[in-house]
Amino acid sequence: MSARGGWRGWARAVAALAAAVALASAASAQAPPGPRPEAITDGPTPLGLRLAHVRLAHETDQAFAFYWRDPSALADPTRAGLIELAPNLLVAGGGLAFDGATMDEALKDAGARLALRRTAATTMGEVVGAARHFEIALDVLHDVLARPRLPSFVLEREKASTLAGARALRERPDRLAGLALTRALVAGAPGAALLLEPPDQVAQLEVADVDTWRRATLVRDTLVVVAAGPMEREEVEQLADAAFGDLPERAEPAASPAPELVEAGRTIVLVRPVPQTVIAMGAAIVWPAEEWPARLAAAQALGGGPGARLWRAVRDGLGAGYGAYAWTQPLTEGVWRFTLQASVAPDSGVATLAAMRREYALLRMRGVEEAELGPIRARLAAREAEAMDRAGTAATAIRAALAQGRSADAPARAVEALAALTADRLNAILATRMPETPTTIVVAPSAEGFQADCVVVSLAEIPGCGLR
């Protein structure tokens, strides 16, 4: 495959499709003929690591994106402070050969960046940098993961930063609404602990807690690595084994309780002295991995930006919104939060809630027409193709597919999967997956007019709202 004729040509072709479909019929949303991407391979390295690899001959950057299943926060939500603190300390503290300052200089000299973070159910990270200096960046990664410094003074600094971030979150009604919705949908959801109420979830953590988590979680047998860039698979396998090979081979598996999903349908008002009313509406939905095109298309139809149903109803119809969107995000493995959210002036809140409920019900009951779905398919196809054109985004796209239970080559087949999604198929899925009445969270200066089932002043009160 030529340097510019592979992924890039494919991405340009699909992008052109997205522009054309607005003027053409829905049939134009089918994938165009043209060059196809190089094969994505998925198999073990000589050391036994699971490695998915795609070669992007035109790229100058090389990327590793990796993850571990990490259900420890689900098993013990009281230790959810580790979600924020542990990866921050590993990166900020540096490794045996690199303290924080020399690590930053080494990454800068290599033209690379390193990130590490946790979610409720995974620990993930990325290294992206110039291919010719990539080994230097991986030396840094190796030390951060396998030989971290974990200095106590850096821990105290990271604690202060984490708690300051939590305080800032408590002042943002949009984040409050989202966290409250998660808390109302999943019993014991650790995501709500990002507000760190009470703050001793972080204040009581010690270096030993972080190191215990690291040794129990960052092990080879649960590691998945994705490599994208100009390097051949054989070279990448050697680099991956060198970067991760000193991690423990395995650890005792942590408890991984199934999430307890709460029946949707309650309306909860969180009263705060906020300048805008924020409405977050949604449901926790078990989406099979193969239905990802329907999941994305439904969110696009409702709230994919200007021209989408929520935008027309709230911004254009009521003149009320600062923004009205819909999206999906993973809550736990196989479970997605389907969310509609709008920020409006307080005097428009009640009318906005009625409009959002109406649009949700119309999508669930009547679905979409092919004329509406065609442009949505094309936009999503263009986005998927563009992501696979660059090393960093290609690696994260493949990692996301694997974490969601799809195959490593699913991103390369995204255009075909989207083209196969008909309006009839989408509508049948939506009628099955979407609950009749979503859960609603309103963050507002007053509960008046919202006909709330429960009124609270903090996230900690939400479990007392009769959730089942």
Domain boundaries, the chain: 41-244, 260-464
The pLDDT value recorded for residue 30 is 43
The pLDDT value recorded for residue 78 is 60
Percent above pLDDT 70 for the chain: 85
- Range 296-315 average pLDDT: 92
The pLDDT value recorded for residue 317 is 84
More confident residue, 122 or 445: 445
More confident residue, 34 or 351: 351
What gap in Å lies between CA 20 and CA 17, rounded to an integer? 5
Segment of 155-169, 242-256, 312-326, 337-351 carrying the highest mean pLDDT:
337-351
DSSP letter at 365 equals H
pTM of the model: 0.85
pLDDT category at 76 given cuts 50, 70, 90 is: low
* Residue 38 vs residues 8, 128, 385, 398: alpha-carbon distances, Å: 12, 20, 13, 14
The pLDDT value recorded for residue 199 is 63
pLDDT category at 459 given cuts 50, 70, 90 is: confident
CB 464 within 8 A of CB 364: no
The pLDDT value recorded for residue 399 is 97
The pLDDT value recorded for residue 56 is 96
The pLDDT value recorded for residue 168 is 80
- Range 195-199 average pLDDT: 54
Q: Where are the beta strands (DSSP E) in 61-159?
A: 61-69, 113-118, 122-130
Task: Tell me which of 3-17, 209-223, 431-445 is least confident.
Answer: 3-17
Q: What is the mean pLDDT of the chain?
A: 85
What amino acid occupies position 31?
A
What amino acid occupies position 89?
L
> Over 60: is that where the pLDDT of 22 sits?
no
The pLDDT value recorded for residue 384 is 92
- Range 287-292 average pLDDT: 93
The pLDDT value recorded for residue 414 is 92
DSSP letter at 389 equals T
Domain over 260-464 is classified CATH 3.30.830.10? yes
The contacts of residue 204 (CB under 8 Å, 6+ apart) are none
- Range 397-422 average pLDDT: 94
Task: Tell me which of 53-67, 95-109, 225-239, 406-420 is least confident.
Answer: 95-109
The pLDDT value recorded for residue 278 is 96
Task: Tell me which of 92-101, 264-273, 390-399 is least confident.
Answer: 92-101
> Over 70: is that where the pLDDT of 431 sits?
yes
More confident residue, 421 or 315: 421
> Over 70: is that where the pLDDT of 462 sits?
yes
The pLDDT value recorded for residue 308 is 92
pLDDT category at 256 given cuts 50, 70, 90 is: low
β-pairing verdict for 61-69 and 41-44: unpaired
pLDDT category at 7 given cuts 50, 70, 90 is: very low
> Over 90: is that where the pLDDT of 12 sits?
no
Tokens 């992008």 belong to residue: 15
**Torsions phi, psi for 408 (to 5 deg):** -60, -30
Fold of 41-244: Cytochrome Bc1 Complex; Chain A, domain 1 (3.30.830)
Percent above pLDDT 90 for the chain: 60
What gap in Å lies between CA 178 and CA 162, rounded to an integer? 19
Query: Tens digit of pLDDT for each residue in 27-71?
Result: 334 444 434 557 999 999 999 999 999 999 999 999 999 999 876
The domains spanning 41-244 and 260-464 adopt the same CATH topology: yes
CA neighbor of 128 nearest in space, from 208, 187, 65, 185: 65
pLDDT category at 73 given cuts 50, 70, 90 is: low
What gap in Å lies between CA 405 and CA 408, rounded to an integer? 9
What residues pair up with 268 in beta bridges, in sequence order?
A: 441, 454
